[in-house]
Amino acid sequence: MGIDEQIVLAKTTFKLDPAAENPFTGTIHFNWKPYVQLHASGGKEPPPNLLDEFLDDSGPIWKPLPHLELPKDFDLPSSAAASREYKAYEEDTPNDDYQILEQSLQRFELAPSRTMTAVHFLLPNGWRSNDGLLVRYGGNRIARARTEISFGDWRIRLDKLAHADRDYHKSLINARGYGITHIGRISRFDNKEFRSEDFRTILKSLNFAFSLMTGRHTSALLPIGSSARKAVWTQWDSARVDPAEPIESFRDSHIANTQFTELGRKVLATCTNELKADVLRLVLKYLIQANRSPDPELAVGGYVTGLLLLAHNILVVENREVSGNYFRNTSADILIGRILNAAKIDMSIPGHFEFLQDVSDSLKSRDGVTRDALGCITKIRNEVMHPTSQRILSWSAKQWIECRIVAHYFLETCILYWLDYKGQYSSRMASPRWAGDTHPVPWG
């Protein structure tokens, strides 16, 4: 599959208003740009009052998302004899693309009550890897490309596609594009049938793991459920997927599939608790938005806020080590430092971070306080978030960049610590740093 290649899901007749008499004739497809969306495009004989309706601006500002209705004889891929049930979900979000003949849809599920024995899905903008179980592609080509995760009664399998080699990933990143890199499968060990609601938590948890692994939002796309090797269910979804970007993370291409096996299990276990799943969702937002921010000042602020969110959850909610009042009245470096100390994460300034050392020296010349790496990033973050005429806001770009690297490292490793990840990781604090240079996590 090429980069940014549109995925055509169906060529059919369809309605966007169940009360409409005549259906549209056109295509339903999955677009990557200008943003990831499910799109229905078609045409029909216009009604006499079409122009009056188009010019009428007396309706509400917020428009409802369209309801997609397919013909009763619509078949799933593989000509499955699927149930003719369908339903569409409407979300309370604005939709600027509300037009007459082209509509952006949020989610459409076909045959929601059908049972299945396996679900296959596509993963866009995944990671490059050189390890894993053996997979045979066409002909005699064999590669280490498979990851398998066992979780309770569930078996998850993820295979790297044959075209997703090093050059393909480079092209994706250079184009800041989108492309399918993996195909996944979810099933039960006992081969019992299940319904879509039975594995929604599994799929949601995997999306968290995919995003943490890549350092940007990515999600399982276009799942198809099957039974007796025939497709019986599908869901078309406008999932959250960020363009491919060169974002650093704890992963290493030499052992990436091994890392994901451990990470996937830990995320799945964490998300069995509803509160923890929500904390992970929120802290990943801070991590990813900071990762993708072109501004290092805003990125440092995002990382530190994510660290405070995680510290509150661990210290106040889970372990009950401190009270909410203590947390509100204690400085960020002390609160975050408790988590970093528990995880045995070194907070000293690395010797090769000369510009971060300059920050520490400059701050000491002001107030006489010697600060480690954590003290530096929380202090200059506070200067940006709470500026005063007495504070100097003239840190150099290189100083901010080194602060950003450290803040990113602290938040990512704290998330791994909280998840109880016990695998290897690649530390961006190391110097020199090269592919294959991985270490056990400090808390292991």
Q: In this predicted structure, what is the pLDDT of residue 71?
A: 75
pTM, to two decimals? 0.87
Q: In this predicted structure, what is the pLDDT of residue 194?
A: 95
Q: In this predicted structure, what is the pLDDT of residue 251?
A: 94
Q: In this predicted structure, what is the pLDDT of residue 170?
A: 94
Q: In this predicted structure, what is the pLDDT of residue 383?
A: 83
- Give the start-to-end residue ranges of the domains of the chain: 7-110, 118-264, 274-440
Q: What residues in the chain have per-residue pLDDT under 70?
A: 1, 47, 49-67, 73-107, 389-393
Q: In this predicted structure, what is the pLDDT of residue 321?
A: 96
Q: In this predicted structure, what is the pLDDT of residue 421?
A: 97
Q: In this predicted structure, what is the pLDDT of residue 63?
A: 57
**Under 8 Å CB-to-CB from 32, ≥6 apart: which residues?**
4, 5, 6, 177, 178, 241
